[in-house]
Structure 1
């Protein structure tokens, strides 16, 4: 399947100013977990090559793969972290190289919450249990790199969520030292931030749960701490109110009430952008024969609420669709994920009118593991070719 590029894309390829930051176009590279930080959680020279390839392709903004803020188990092994000096120094090499290509880069700050596992190597090394807002396990899951491929476990409810907020703040301090232009708080896909917002994963009876205001408190307080480090136009958030993935989703009325309130409050913080994920069948799951996602139209439901922060749209957006949505001022930029896996130069292909072939080799998507050779690690990661002519 190819994303068509039949239209003139002058709006999509036009500049966008976000506070002091100047995006040369509105093509954004999504955060993409690729599991190539071998042998542990420190970015390496292969990761550097990958980001330079994509920066050379000319996106308006690169959002890093999810960066773990603490030594936390993960659904995919070999994800990068940003909790120690070695990691910060490794990220400095990447941000410096990306900037040398004339590209901006944000760090996506990531905490898994209940979707980590006590037997994951990094979780075991941390000496900490799996933390979440409440002691409620997600259904499903499959940790392919743990013997027996176990599913999710019941997490330990965090006593004081302010401890987690301080961890996010420290990660922002580290990201700033590492040279990132800003940060994106991962508030979707069933991870920790999402778990606080959603009443199916947060059943706390203290000031961090229950009402919409209380469930939003953790996320808003975290955003404020990130802003204290970077400034408001350098902090953003990614949301997936549709739910589904990682067993998330409230009834439709509660979903609308929750996200209408939260987004209106977050927008008052004058963020760099709010990234909204819309429905993708690929990210949905089936339980007892019923899809988990709470399907509704993202733009119709939430666009009117956002008055101050730019709106970025993610999940299955094509160049032609992005052009129409930007031209009609429904969105400010489009976030492309899968196309950037198989094409290091998505903006150039759009400008040249070359269709984006999004056929991905899923066998290489999340890496071959820490014992793989360099050749095996490159496969499906840095070996996709750049476009040389219009087809």
Structure 2
């Protein structure tokens, strides 16, 4: 696997290998302020050889939170709690992955959304609720709430920009905009969730405007150290357009994004784990996102995410089809993943699915299924 272990320049930073750790929501922030347990988790995987670590989703505001124990970055306590990279050692790298969760994928009864009023999930491109609605901390299937259409999307772009400023203060090496999985940026892109008739909706070009303007705002803060993650197949959180609309929309987005000098773009492939079924049909628009969209990125490194095996990762990088890969599940149960691959060690740990996302029960040991996976013997 020699190709995977070659360095790569991303923006202003050289990473030591092509195996990144993708953003993984783990729900261990007990409050919105990051804690020492989270630091231990990231340090384990930094020592395990990750070439690039993307943090879990970090909230840019309290509004619309889908995850009760996700960290935020809108106040000083959160900024201070996120000062992770300097404590990793100079050779380690974290990219901050921030998003505005929730909107039509949230619920007013979620514990952090009960009070005060400003915590309510009020913003979305259009007043459309996602179908489904199985919530971890609510019993039954109450369904998603219907959000209020945001009158002026630039107010949300300003929140992203302030989060980027805060991320720089916290000492991160760059930012990755979450444009995937049915959250806010993806909702603007998708014609099923964006029914606007102003300049932010309608045509493919208009629906891509929010993502592109947000990227430009982040670049004002970070220059070339800005990345984008997208999942064109949809599925999760009731996302997904007809194939031609998908190609037109994401095609325009990527052609324009390629002009911005981004550090990389992550293409998330189709996964059965993030697809849903409605009325007897799967929701996602299945297609080969790599062959469809990578050719549009002539100036931007492409990373592939979702179900990538080590052997496939080597083939993708060696062939030049991808600059690198992101792995998720394998990093959960193998804190020393890159060291294992480099040494030819087996990937043999078993995931603790009961505790992957923590628990809201009193007295539960949050280290279980989080920082208690053993390393291999070298």
TM-score by length of 1: 0.93
**C-alpha displacement of 1:127:** 2.1
Return the alpha-carbon distance in structure 2 between the equivalents of residues 104 and 372 of structure 1.
Answer: 33
- Mapped contact 1:73–1:121 kept (Cα < 8 A): no
Check if 1:286 corresponds to 2:277. yes
Q: Is this contact kept in 1: 2:29–2:38, CA < 8 A?
A: yes
Looking at structure 2, the residues matched to 343 and 293 of structure 1 have their Cα atoms a distance apart, in angstroms, of: 29
Matched, 1:183 2:175: yes
SS in 2 for 1:238: strand
CA drift of 1:118 comes to 1.6
Out of 213, 216, 219, the residue aligned to residue 221 of structure 1 is: 213
String of CA shifts for 1:8-39, please: whole Å, max 9, x gaps: x110111111132010000100000000001x
1:384 matched to 2:376 = no
The residue number in structure 1 matching 2:239 is 248
Q: Partner of 1:282: helix, strand, or coil?
A: helix
2:184 — aligned with what?
Answer: 192
Question: Unpaired runs of 5+ in structure 2?
Answer: none
Give me the whole-angstrom Cα distance separating, in 2, the residues matched to 1:91 and 1:386: 26
Task: Please give the root-mean-square deviation of Cα atoms over the aligned residues, in Å.
Answer: 1.4
Gaps of 5+ in 1: 1-8
Match of 2:110 among 109, 116, 120: 120
Q: CA contact under 8 A between 2:349 and 2:373: conserved in structure 1?
A: no
After superposition, give the CA deviation of every residue in 1:288-319 in whole Å (9 maximum; x if it has no partner).
11000100001110111011111000000011
* Structure 1 residue 211: Cα displacement: 0.7
**CA distance in 1 between partners of 2:226 and 2:68 (Å):** 27
Q: Which residue in the other structure is 1:156 paired with? A: 148
Alignment match of 1:10 (pick from 2, 20, 40): 2
Match of 2:136?
A: 144
Contact 2:235 2:274 survives alignment (8 Å): yes
Match of 1:5 in 2: none
**How many residues get paired?**
375
Decide which of 160, 164, 172 is 1:168's aligned counterpart. Answer: 160
Indicate which of 322, 331, 341 corresponds to 1:350: 341
Q: What is the distance in 2 between the residues matched to 1:48 and 1:125?
A: 29
> Per the alignment, in what secondary structure is the counterpart of residue 152 of structure 2?
coil
Q: CA deviation at 1:361?
A: 1.9
1:237 corresponds to 2:228: yes
Alignment correspondent of 1:72: 63
Query: Aligned partners of 1:382, 1:212: CA distance in 2, in Å?
Result: 43
Residue 169 of structure 1: CA displacement?
0.4
Q: Supply the distance in 1 between the matched residues of 2:317 and 2:115 (Cα, whole angstroms).
A: 46
SS in 2 for 1:12: helix
Q: Once the two structures are superposed, what CA deviation does each residue of 1:183-202 show, in whole Å capped at 9, x if it has no partner?
A: 00000000000000000000
CA-CA distance at 1:73 after TM superposition: 4.0
Task: Please give the alpha-carbon distance, in whole angstroms, between the structure 1 residues aligned to 2:269 and 2:304.
Answer: 8
Deviation string 1:85-115 (CA, Å, 9 cap, x unpaired) is: 00000001x22222x1621101101112211
Higher relative contact order (CA 8 A, sep 6+): 1
Provide the rounded CA distance (Å) in 2 between the counterparts of 1:75 and 1:203.
Answer: 22
For 1:123 and 1:225, the matched residues in 2 are separated by 28
Counterparts in 2 of 1:43-58, with a 5 A limit? 43-58=34-49
3-state SS of the aligned residue for 2:81? helix
- Are positions 1:321 and 2:322 aligned together? no
CA contact 1:339–1:357 (8 Å) conserved in 2: no
User: What secondary structure, in the 3-state scheme, does the structure 1 residue paired with 2:219 have?
Assistant: helix
Listed one character per residue, the Cα deviations across residues 165-217 of structure 1 (whole Å, up to 9, x for unaligned) are: 00000000011100110000000000000000000000000111001111011
After superposition, the Cα gap between the structure-2 partners of 1:296 and 1:55, relative to the gap in structure 1 and judged at 3 Å, is same
1:105 and 2:94 correspond: yes
How far apart are residue 356 of structure 1 and its match? 2.2
**Aligned residues of 2:33 and 2:77 also touching (Cα < 8 A):** yes
2:352 paired residue number: 361
Q: Which residue in 2 is equivalent to 1:134?
A: 126
